[in-house]
Amino acid sequence: MYPDQIFNTEAPLHSPSSLRYSLTEEGLALAERLESVERGTKDGPEGDREEVRSEGGEEEEEEGEVGVVDLTGSDHGEEEKEEERVQPACVSQPRSEASSQATTRKANGGRLLPGTYEIILCVDFIETTGGSHHCKQELVKELQRNGVNFDVRKLNVGDFLWVAREKVAPVPGQLRAPVGRELVLDYVIERKRMDDLCGSIIDGRCREQKFRLKRCGLRRPIYLVEECGKAASHLSLPESTLQQAIVNTQVVDGFFVKRVQDVRESAAYLTVMTRYLTKLYQNCTLICRSRELEGDGGGSDEEERGTPSCSLISFQEFNHGAVKNKCQTVREVFARQLMQVSGLSGDKAAAILELYSTPHSLLAAYEQCASEAEKEKLLSSIRYGKLKRNLGPALSRTVYQLYCTQGALS
């Protein structure tokens, strides 16, 4: 029953303070019922209870309180009474659903069980804005046309990767659904057009990017190379040099290299990979692992058997650890210095760091050498990479001259 059904209001529009109220017939009946209920409560003994039989014959205990008396029941049918009985349960439902979700998470021990997550392709926002705007928008349109479930966000390493996002049901009464956990699958893609590859080789970004990809904590790095056809003949480097760089990426660095012709084939490859990973992980129970405890690289038993790894890094930890301009340790700065030397790859720098983790330790080793020739050959016998080849005397001499030559280098 609404207020206008109980009261009649009479007042001039220009004088709200002179508002007068009078009871309608329905309001007068309601007041009489209130008065009778109040009189019965005062007259009866404290705690007195009255048994009331419902139409179905069930007995209910009704407290002698005004709050439980249905004052509008006579004006409406039994259907409205039933709705009023159900209402308190509906009000408490959001809290129960939220607590049940929290209980489920606690029972799973931080794991994502099969069916509780979905595979999402993450696209770096640089791949959708700036530069060749037409080609980048074409990539997004192709992914949408293929029905790929993707999300554009800032990635600190790589251009594409996949996450397993927890499915979280929205809670009634809350504007936004709770944020689900996200674990990064062991696949990350670096996309390179031939002109971009040429520029990254010239300014040194190529080696630095591959080094960061190998140290990001994901075990399956992929190089997606777009052959831009006739445009490759107008680049600063010969095509043979670019092809050799691509081969080195696969053979020396151990990356899987996928060659495509244009942006449409790139979108097709991302679509196929998304569907493949969705099927690959559909029956897996995913466990969150810490990158700090296990280190940056290294394989696993699952990877060696060809089965998907179910021990994954959270997206927040992965992206934070891949920040390019974050505070760096002396070891990391030393590695970057070594990689600026021509011919000194990431594997070779890592091999040197295994023995000499800082410039101070390397200089101390040079001081222990008896002769100049011994200093020049100090690093020549260090083995690197999967084939365990020697670093060689030429590279060892170059590093010695870099750190021990007084004055300007010739």
127 is catalytic: yes
Closest CA to 250 of 124, 139, 386, 395: 386
Structure tokens at 351: 């091999």
Closest CA to 125 of 157, 152, 143, 150: 152
Between CA 334 and CA 349 the distance in angstroms is: 9
Residue 385 CB neighbours (<10 A): 15
Q: Cβ(238)–Cβ(194) under 8 Å? A: no
Catalytic residue among 142, 159, 166, 253: 159
- Give backbone dihedrals phi and psi of 120, rounded to 5 degrees, phi first: -120, 135
- What are the C-alpha distances in Å from 72 to residues 27, 34, 59, 148, 198? 11, 11, 21, 55, 81
Please list the residues that pair with 189 across neighbouring strands: 160, 222
Q: Cβ(392)–Cβ(380) under 8 Å? A: yes
Cβ-proximal residues to 285 (8 Å cutoff; 6+ apart), any chain: 111, 112, 113, 114, 310
Catalytic residue among 32, 78, 124, 262: 124
124 is catalytic: yes
296 is catalytic: no
List residues with catalytic annotation.
Answer: 124, 127, 159
